[in-house]
Amino acid sequence: MKRVVLVDAGGTNIGSVRYALQRLGTDAELTADAARIRSASHVILPGVGAAAPGMRRLRDAGLIDVLRQLSQPVLGVCLGMQLLCDYSDEGDTECLGVIPATVHRFEDRPGLRVPHMGWNHIRRDSAHALTEGLGDDDTAYFVHSYAVPVGAYTLASTEHGGLFSAVIAADNFMGMQFHPERSAGVGARLLRNFLSL
C-alpha cells in the first residue's frame, strides 16, 4: 500500500506541495516522526529558505541519520533537493550527503538576475523513470539563488548564466530544483512519475 509522507522540516512550500499531491489523488501525511518516515512507501523533503537553517531543523528533529538511511524513493524539492547533496556554499553547510554534489551560488555578474526566478525550459539529459515524458519544450517554475552543477547525477538541466541541474538522482534519492507544485502539467507529470516508483 502506498503511503506518502512529507517531512515536516518547516518549509513554507509544504502546503502547496501537499495540495499538488491531493490533485493527483494522494493524501500525504505531514510528519517529523522518524518511525512514520521510515515506514512510508515514498518520502518527500520539501523546503524553502536557506541551507543552514534547513539542516538545523532536520538535526533538531533527529532526522539526519533517518533520512540518510532510507531505502524507499525519496524526493527533495527546491531547498530539499539541495539538502540531499554533500555540501552547500550557502552558510558553509554540510548537508545530507546522499548525492555527490556541492551547491554553489549563481555568479554575481551584469545581466544575470539572482535569484533565478520564473519559468525556464528544462532539458532531459538522461533516461530515468522520474523524467519519463519530459519534452525539450517543457518549462518549470524556479525560485532560487543556489544551484547544483551538472554531473553524473543530473537527469535534467536548465540554463541561467550557464547550465545547472534541474532534476537529479542517485540510487533512491531524487531531487527537483524547480517547484513542481507551481509548474503546471510538467510538475504534475514528474510528481506522478515519482509516486509510481
Catalytic residue check, 159: no
Residue 87: Cβ within 10 Å count: 16
Q: How far apart are CA 60 and CA 46, in angstroms?
A: 17
Among residues 163, 98, 166, 172, the alpha carbon closest in space to that of 129 is found at: 172
Residues 42, 95, 116, 181: which is the catalytic one?
A: 181
Of 131, 108, 109, which is closest to residue 177 (Cα–Cα)?
Answer: 131
Give yes or no: 90 in active site: no
Q: What would the 3-class secondary structure string for 119-146 be?
A: EEECEECCCCHHHCCCCCCCEEEEEECE
E runs forming strands in 10-113? 29-31, 42-45, 74-77, 85-88, 93-94, 99-105
**What's the rounded Cα separation, in Å, for the pair 44 and 52?**
19
Place of cell 545530507: 96
Q: Which of 29, 42, 78, 116 is catalytic?
A: 78
* Whether 132 is catalytic: no
Residues with catalytic roles: 78, 179, 181
